[in-house]
């Protein structure tokens, strides 16, 4: 489909058409693949999967890459509900999926893969070496792979070729071979994980042989003109025997000679996440792999896609303008807002819902069920949560302008309700202090997005204190209480000393001494610990738990790597007994006490729900519908409170 529409002058490169092989692409945005786990338990396409990828295509992206389809029935499937391309009877579903993408204006690409050592037991890989696990398992020995025999390697080569043929016959415009992120092809490319002594191990030419044979088999089966992409890690960021960029450049040149049409450059891998090097969350720099794409682009004449942590159209445009890549790959930003391309093209970047780089899409989504997003509750549920106008609009009060309150007000207004949002101070709530550290600047964009959308949706914003009488006088049909939570203070001697500083005060700009004791080890404590440590403070952390930062999920590895570069002392399994003039007294689990000296004491040990107003309103007979959402129910993450707010507002009928 060809269509000419006006383009925002800020993004001339981003919306210039391009070619991958002989395939014309309407712009330079590629939806990078993510395993969605939206297939059924047998790996077949579902309506839910079709709805998801259709919406991504409708959002204006040039190429939609469907993530991770396994190529054989033996050991290539990484997790349940992954898409299957290993048998002929899947092609009718693949045809349905490809047609939905193409009919919505995008090119359709299917990624094919073998998990290698990053799979569920029994595991087959290049060599019997397991990767550092970043998730709990009952028996780590189960994750030591069995070395593939030479004949098994040949079978997998043929399986990739057969899978690519099925993808082509199903109507996809392109196939992508997943050679990155620690999966089987990376196992072979890696000098650390490939210790084979046959023709597939040792020298670089031997280690790349498996991938080259896969491409050769694919080309034999799909012909010379069908577009083929290969995704590579520019480097795996391994601390020992890494895949180097020089090696990857040689691999890219060899792939071009075999007829590959585009190199999709990523970085890292499952086996380097635990070292704090292989991830893609807020503790890593933006566009962290673009340097590798740029280097590879210098040695090949085929297009190069740069991907990972490219989170705004402005950043994508800059990469293209500087000539560091021919296309940009966006994954998580398109989960946060599938319509990012369309909104950028139309000159509405302020309407783009931002990715906050929390990786909940992996940890709480793909890692534990199916695709989810912290800021977009509708992702993966596109056919279920589409906002439409209600038949009978209500007069709705939302009390509290934090993330839950703003999301509830936005959704209720878009549903056609007459919404008044009451906020005592400034819109943003707990997001305001949360956005202060340099590593959480994405939260500032979320505040701006939500406040802008509340205004654009026609919500009536009322500033000032709210009482139950205010709400009764307003004669509202429904009331949503989102009054948040307040920091908890322990009842111990000395808690009122001048050295004690609240965590919100610290993030709000209150100065501390050079030596700071932080009491608490959860999400808020983690933020303030790193925030203070990177200011050059000497920080001592005390927590009742056995570790700090566990609420960070997959982000904990990069967080700890960054934190331990600073002057920090971590004390676990202890609790606060007293605040003294020179610091604090703590006790361990046996009751033994000790003193820690410090200039300032920051209490970051959790939040207390503020549900007083909800309790009052719940007793008002005239109010039939009163809901509590967000932290006033229970202090939780952005993921939880936005989902809850969306659901409550959506279901007001």
Count other C-beta atoms under 10 Å from residue 420's C-beta. Answer: 19
Residues 68/78, Cβ–Cβ less than 8 Å: yes
CB 367 within 8 A of CB 378: no
* CA distance between the termini of the chain: 39
Q: Which residue has the tokens 């001592």?
A: 540
Q: How far is CA 512 from the centre of its chain?
A: 33
DSSP annotation string for 439-493:
GGHHHHHHHHHHHHHHHHTT-EEEES---HHHHHHHT-SEEEE---EEE-----T
Residue identified by tokens 């016959």 is 169
Check if the beta carbon of residue 185 is closer than 8 Å to that of residue 214: yes
Is 19 assigned a catalytic role? no
Pick the closest to residue 73 from 124, 133, 39 (CA basis): 124
Helix (H) or strand (E) holding 271: helix 270-273
Q: How many CB atoms lie within 10 A of CB 219?
A: 17
From the list 340, 237, 270, 347, the residue with the least C-alpha distance to 35 is 270
**Among the listed residues 534, 434, 415, 524, the one whose alpha carbon sits nearest the alpha carbon of residue 480:** 415
User: Can you spell out the DSSP letters for 296-362?
Assistant: HHTT-SS-EEEESS--SHHHHHHHHHTTS-SEEEESHHHHH-TTHHHHHHTT-GGGPPPP----HII
Token pair in block for residue 92: 């009718």
Which 8-state DSSP code applies to residue 100? H
| 3 state SS of 632 | helix
Annotated catalytic residue, options 183, 193, 271, 284: 183
- Locate 143 and state its tokens: 């994750």
Number of residues that make up the chain: 653
Residues 6+ away with beta carbon under 8 Å from 263: 229, 230, 232, 252, 255, 256, 296, 300, 302, 303, 304, 305
Distance CA 476, CA 482 (A): 16
Strands 625-628, 478-481: pairing is: parallel
185 in helix, strand or coil? Answer: helix
Residue 263: strand pairing partners? 230, 304
360 within 8 A of 551, measured Cβ to Cβ: no
β-pair partners for 462: 422
Residue 416 has φ and ψ, to the nearest 5°, of 105, 0
Give 613's DSSP letter. Answer: H
C-alpha separations of 415 from 58, 374, 385, 481 in Å: 21, 21, 11, 18
> Parallel, antiparallel, or unpaired for β 327-330 and 29-31?
parallel
The torsion angles phi and psi of 595, rounded to 5 degrees, stand at -110, 140
Residues recognised as catalytic: 183
């Amino acid at each position: 489909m060809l269509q000419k529409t006006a383009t925002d002058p800020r993004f001339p490169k981003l919306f210039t058409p391009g070619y991958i092989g002989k395939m014309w692409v309407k712009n330079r945005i590629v939806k990078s693949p993510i395993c969605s786990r939206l297939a059924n338990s047998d790996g077949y396409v579902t309506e839910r999967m079709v709805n998801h990828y259709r919406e991504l295509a409708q959002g204006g992206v040039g190429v939609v890459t469907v993530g991770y389809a396994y190529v054989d029935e033996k050991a290539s499937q990484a997790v349940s509900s992954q898409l299957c391309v290993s048998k002929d009877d899947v092609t009718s579903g693949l045809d349905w999926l490809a047609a939905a993408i193409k009919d919505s204006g995008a090119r359709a690409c299917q990624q094919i893969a073998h998990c290698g050592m990053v799979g569920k037991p029994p595991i087959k890989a290049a060599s019997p070496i397991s990767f550092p696990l970043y998730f709990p398992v009952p028996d780590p020995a189960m994750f030591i792979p069995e070395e593939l025999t030479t004949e098994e390697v040949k079978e997998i080569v043929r399986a990739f070729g057969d899978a690519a043929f099925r993808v082509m016959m199903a109507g996809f415009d392109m196939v992508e071979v997943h050679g990155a992120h620690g999966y089987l092809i990376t196992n072979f490319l890696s000098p650390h994980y490939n210790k084979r002594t046959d023709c597939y191990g040792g020298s670089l030419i031997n280690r790349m042989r498996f991938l080259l044979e896969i491409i050769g088999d694919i080309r034999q089966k799909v012909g010379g003109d069908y577009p083929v992409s290969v995704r590579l890690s520019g480097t795996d960021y391994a601390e020992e025997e890494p895949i180097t960029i020089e090696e990857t450049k040689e691999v890219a040149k060899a792939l071009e000679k075999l007829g590959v049409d585009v190199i999709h450059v990523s970085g890292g891998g499952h086996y380097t996440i635990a070292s704090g090097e292989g991830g893609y969350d807020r503790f890593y720099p933006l566009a962290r792999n673009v340097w590798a794409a740029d280097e590879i682009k210098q040695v090949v004449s085929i297009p190069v896609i740069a991907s990972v942590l490219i989170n705004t159209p402005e950043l994508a445009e800059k990469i293209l303008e500087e000539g560091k890549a021919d296309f940009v790959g966006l994954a998580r930003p398109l989960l946060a807002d599938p319509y990012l391309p369309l909104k950028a093209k139309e000159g509405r970047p302020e309407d783009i819902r931002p990715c906050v780089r929390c990786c909940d899409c992996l940890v709480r989504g793909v890692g534990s069920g199916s695709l989810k997003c912290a800021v977009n509750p509708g992702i993966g549920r596109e056919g279920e949560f589409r906002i439409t106008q209600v038949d009978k609009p209500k007069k709705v009060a939302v009390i509290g302008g934090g993330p839950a309150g703003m999301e509830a007000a936005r959704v209720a207004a878009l549903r056609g309700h007459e919404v008044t949002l009451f906020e005592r101070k400034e819109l943003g709530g707990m997001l305001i202090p949360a956005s202060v550290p340099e590593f959480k600047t994405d939260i500032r964009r979320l505040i701006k997005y939500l406040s802008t959308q509340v205004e654009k949706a026609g919500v009536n914003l009322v500033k000032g204190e709210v009482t139950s009488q205010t709400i009764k006088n307003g004669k509202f049909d429904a009331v949503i209480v989102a009054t948040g939570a307040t920091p908890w203070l322990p009842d111990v001697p000395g808690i009122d000393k001048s050295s004690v500083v609240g965590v919100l005060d610290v993030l709000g700009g209150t100065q501390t001494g050079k030596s700071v004791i932080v009491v608490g080890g959860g999400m808020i404590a983690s933020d303030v610990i790193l925030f203070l440590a990177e200011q050059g403070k000497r920080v001592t952390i005390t927590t009742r738990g056995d570790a700090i930062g566990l609420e960070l999920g997959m982000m904990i590895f990069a967080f700890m790597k960054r934190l331990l570069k600073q002057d920090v002392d971590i004390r676990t399994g202890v609790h606060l007994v007293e605040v003294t003039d020179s610091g604090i007294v703590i006790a361990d689990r046996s009751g033994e006490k000790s003193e820690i000296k410090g200039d300032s004491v920051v209490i970051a040990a959790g939040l207390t729900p503020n549900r007083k107003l909800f309790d009052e309103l719940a007793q008002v007979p005239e109010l039939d519908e009163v809901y509590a959402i967000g932290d006033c129910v229970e202090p939780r993450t952005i993921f939880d409170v936005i989902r809850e707010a969306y659901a409550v507002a959506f279901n007001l009928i």
